[in-house]
Amino acid sequence: MRLSEGQRLVRMQYVSKEVSEALVSQITKGFGIDVNIIFGDIDIVADTPIEGIVAIFDDEPVRIDAALNYLRQRNIAAEVLKEG
């Protein structure tokens, strides 16, 4: 996958019954970042959903870093897989 300059491919993974699609909305509205989901999945382990999203974050590095820190503060694993 080829990314443009300023884009990052990010994998987010979390265990929660409350975290949902609103997560992407919070990032786009709160940080002004374009987020394009390219993959998502949900596994159920011991009656608990484990959710994951792979998305492209597109904006200035400072804004993306702030969004990643926000996710981590909410106990959402956010791993940058690739940078453009």
Supply 7's token pair.
Answer: 């884009």
Give the up-direction half-sphere exposure of residue 26: CA atoms within 13 A in the CB hemisphere. Answer: 11
Distance CA 67, CA 25 (A): 12
Q: What's the pLDDT at 19?
A: 61
Q: Specify the length of the chain in residues.
A: 84
Looking at residue 17, its pLDDT comes to 58
Four-residue CA torsion sign, 5, 67, 57, 1: positive
- Specify the pLDDT at position 15: 77
Angle subtended at Cα 2 by Cα 20 and Cα 15, rounded to the nearest 5 degrees: 20
Identify the segments of the chain with pLDDT beneath 50.
Answer: none
Q: Which pLDDT does position 44 carry in this prediction?
A: 84
CA 2 to chain centre: 18
